[in-house]
Each structure stands twice: as structure tokens, then as C-alpha cells.
Structure 1
Amino acid sequence: MSKTILITGASKGFGKVWTEAFLQEGYKVVAAARNIETLNDLVSKYGDAILPLSLDVNDRDAAFSAVKKAHQHFGKIDVLINNAGYALFGAIEEANEQEARDQFQTNFFGALWMTQAVLPIMREQKSGHIIQTSSILGLITLPFLGLYNASKFALEGFSETLAAEVKDFGIHVTLVEPNGYASDIWKNETHSKGIAAYDGIKKAFSESGTTGSFGTIEATSQALLKLIAATNPPLRLFLGKVALPFVKHHYEQRLAVWEEWAEVSELAHGN
């Protein structure tokens, strides 16, 4: 069955790879990005099957306008993939106000605006699938990615709530949880101005190997195609060999500590 997919952040990384995979599968794709010139190769190859849209997801009005154009052009939107995002590197203390606000504007509010814009269309259709490109760092954390971690934790919270609110309308929600991948988000990272006191800790962390092995972006395409084709998609889908074991390890540690303090927790309940 042919589907129409609207994806943000389509100009590079996961977005570009997934966009081409969808087109190869015969889907119609609305590819939204700040720089749509990078999509010229796909337009030349796939013609009318792709609609490039210039979009800054930080602009709520622009997000609603893009969804309206997409719907008018193809007549429906079966899948929304909120993929636009970037990572701010640095210690919590190092981030300035604008850097913190910008991180949330793109990673959280951009996804929120696009989701709000598409929901009336999907409710009217009585069907739809909203896919959020999150991260395992929306479930566990790593040092020096605190604002990125926080933006993905926020995305997780609103998306899990959304799933409960819209299931009776025939709308599914999935959080895609990649482990590390050799993508542009890490090649073109944004860094806060450093504070010398953290230099030693940063060096030790970078040499610890905590981040594990990176996956290959192109290898994720089949997983996304299976996800989109599923009649009962999961709320969360991990991508990569590292993701699930890494999160399980951290949650086992959390549960052990919570159980250790369970008696204190129960005392706090009262009679």
C-alpha cells in the first residue's frame, strides 16, 4: 500500500538516507529541511514522488504551513517523522542561555509544532503514524551532552503521553532510539565555550570508550521500512546492536538502587 510520508531534517544523515529508502519503496515523500538544495539528486531521480519543502521547524507558523502544503499536494499524510535535531556538546555549567534555548527549540519544540500541525489531519483520516527520532540518550545519559539528553527526555515524555491520547483515533506513535551512528550530528557538533575546570574530566571521558561502537546509517533503512509497514508498531524501537543492551544495563542498576531504598520510599507514603 502506497503511503505519504512527511519527514523533517531530510537533507542529510538519517533523514536523507531514509527519504531515499522510502522513495525506492514507492512511497510519496515530503522532504522538509532548511537546505533543500541537497535534495536535488533525489528530485532528479524520483520526480513527482518527492516534494522538497524549505522549513525551519523552530518556526511554529512555518511548521503548520509546511504540513498544510504537504496535505494539499498529496491529499494525505500517513506518516510524520520528526527527525530534525542536533547535539550541543559541553558541561551543564558551560551552556549559555541561548544555546540551551536553541537546543530545546529544535529537538523538542520543533517536534511538538509538527506533531500539533499534523494531528487534525490524522484524526480526520482516522489513521496515522507519528515517528520521533529520539535517542538512547532520551532514556539514559552521558556526560557533556546534558542539554541534548534533556531535550530527548522531554521528547520521550510528550510522545509517550501522546500515544495514550491518540490511540483511539487510529494514530500510532513510535520513538526511534538509535545508539551512536556515524552521522552529521556528531561530525558537525556544536560546542559550548569550555571551562578549564572540566578539561581533565572531558579527557578521561573521551578516552573511556563509554560511547561504544557506532553503527552505519544506511543499515537503518530496512528497520524504518518495517516500522512504517507494521500494523501494530511499537512505542519504542531501538536501532543498533549497542542500544538495547546499554539501556538494559543502566535500568538494571537503577532498579537495584530503587529496591535498596524501597523501605525509605514506603515510609514517605504515611498511613
Structure 2
Amino acid sequence: MPAPRTWFITGASRGLGHAFAVAALERGDQVVAAARSVTQDHFDQRHSDRLLTLNLNVTDRPAVLAAISTAVEHFGRLDIVLNNAGTMSSGMVEEFTEAEARAQMEVNLFGALWVSQAALPHLRDQKGGHIVQISSIAALGGFPTTGMYSASKFALEGMTEALAMEAAAFGVKVTIVQPGGYWTDLYASMTSTSPLEPYGPLREEITRQWAEGSVDSSPEAAAAAMLKLVDSKNPPLRLLLGSMVYDLAFDISCRRMAVWEGWEQVSRAAERPVPAPAQIA
């Protein structure tokens, strides 16, 4: 069992974030549980001496900087920074207003960016730590009605890949976690666009597919996997959670590779290195 560590977890009042926080507390770690609305009452009082709750809107960059400083002052250090806060907006790409599209990015991309930026100076000074970004199955590919949600998670992963290479120089580890289905209130709390009539048949087909039902997993299963991840001396850049998302990742990757291979000649013909053109006077 590793020595107790300090976690900073966003979106910790419910769902996966709450399960991660509980698992960390149960094993004896210290937790800073941050969320828009969170109190000690969200957790077992047995852990109150190792728990700090902070009300935080991750889209507020100054508030994020202050929260990270408060966490370090309270516990003395940070070991695991877990960007779990996220929202989901459902709708066809054409249906999104500018405000709706920006709101999706503000939480899922910029919220994680602000937390990562705020935590990095402390982790860099410690010469170690682990940043974990909770992404989604939607980052494997875009699907009807999840376009903007997928866009936010694709952006999060692109930013995080660069962050991982930059932070490695200071001994800081970075992992992207792509969960499958878990029984949280993500879908119950998601917002939806105003539907456009031409998309009615497609929306009906999607509704029919959802009506067939699905079986999701308990958040505690994801929490057990999270503990194994942060205990690893060599954690991966990416971790898939769940058989469904694991199989889907391979299926999407294989189909993409097949398309790339089918267009190989066109791709290679589009590259013909030539000397730099002469400067135009």
C-alpha cells in the first residue's frame, strides 16, 4: 500500500467524481473535493479530518487558482489532480446556438485547462505528481447528437497529449481516462438544443435505439480502476474503462486504418518535397 497522498478532485459531489473521492478517503488518502456545491455532508464524517470541500466553478480561472492554493496550504502538497467536472449538451451540430456551444467548451475543455495550469507549478516544484483527465467514450468518435460534447472531449485530449510531453520533463505524469457507461446523472442533467424539423427522423431513430435499453456499471467499478491507475509506477497516457468502450476503441481504430489504407496512394501523392521557393522581392 503506497503512502497516503493528497487528491484534488473536481465534480466531486456526485457521480464518478464522488466515487473517486470516496475510494481515496476509504484507503486513507487526503482529498480536496471541489464542486459547484459540495459540503462535508456529501461524505462519511469518519473522514472529515482528511477531507477539504471547496465550492468551485471550474470555468472561473481566478477561483480555480485560489482553490489550488487553498488546497496546497491546507494539506501541504498535491499528488493527484483529477479533472472530472463535466457537462453534456445533446443536439445536432446545426442546432447549437453560439452560447450553447461555448458553454460546452467552457466546462469540459477550459475548466480542465485552468485546473491543470493552476496545479502544474506546485507539481513541478515537487518534481512529481499525476494529472488525470476524465474524457469520454465520445472522444473515440463523433455520434449523432453528441457532436459538441465530442468536440469538447477531442479538444481536451489534444491538449492533454501535449501537456503530458511537457510535464514529463518535471516528473509529472498525465493520463487520459475514457470511461464507458456508468450509472451517474450525466444524462439526467444534460441540456438539449431546440430541435430542427429536418432532423426529426434521425432523432426518432436514435430515441428508438435508446429505448432498447442499456446496462451501465456502478461508479465504484471505475473508482477501483482509478486506484490501480494512480498506484502504477508507469501509468499509461490513455486508459479505457469498460468492455464496451474497449471494444469500440478497437473497432473505430480498425475502420479508420482501413480507410487510410484505401486512400494511401492519394495521401502519398500529396507530398513531394521540393527546395524552398525563392523569396519574392
> What's the TM-score, normalizing by structure 1?
0.96
Which amino acid in the other structure matches residue 49 of structure 1?
A: R
Does 1:22 find its partner at 2:21? no
User: Residue in 2 aligned with 1:144?
Assistant: 145
Bigger-Rg structure (1/2): 2
Matched, 1:177 2:178: yes
- Name 2:269's counterpart in structure 1: 267
Q: Does 1:258 align with 2:260?
A: yes
Unpaired segments ≥5 residues, structure 1: none
1:116 and 1:74 map into 2 onto residues whose CA distance is 19
* Aligned with residue 230 of structure 1, among 229, 232, 243: 232
- Give the drift of 1:180: 2.1
User: How is 1:58-207 mapped onto 2 (pairs within 5 angstroms)?
Assistant: 58-207=59-208
Compared CA separation, residues 60 and 7, structure 1 to 2 (3 A): same
Q: Distance in 2 between the 1:252 and 1:217 partners? A: 29
How far residue 88 of structure 1 moved from its aligned partner, in angstroms, is: 0.3
1:194, distance to aligned residue in structure 2 (A): 1.1
State percent identity of aligned pairs.
42
For structure 2, the 5+ residue unaligned runs are 274-281
CA-atom RMSD in angstroms:
1.5
Q: Which runs of 4+ in 1 moved over 3 A?
A: 208-213
Paired with 1:231 and 1:10, the residues of 2 have a C-alpha distance of 25
Residues 13 and 42, structure 2, Cα contact 8 Å, conserved in 1: no
Q: How many residue pairs get matched?
A: 270
Deviations 1:208-242 (A, max 9, x none): 36996422222111101111111111111111110
Equivalent position SS for 1:174: strand
- Secondary structure, counterpart of 1:58 in structure 2: coil
Give the Å deviation of 1:85. 0.3
Instruction: Identify the range of structure 1 (127-136 vs 178-187) with the bigger mean alpha-carbon deviation.
Output: 178-187
2:13 aligns with 11
C-alpha separation in 1, matches of 2:214 and 2:138: 13
Tell me if structure 2 keeps the 8 A contact 1:89–1:144: yes
Map of 1:44 onto structure 2 = 45
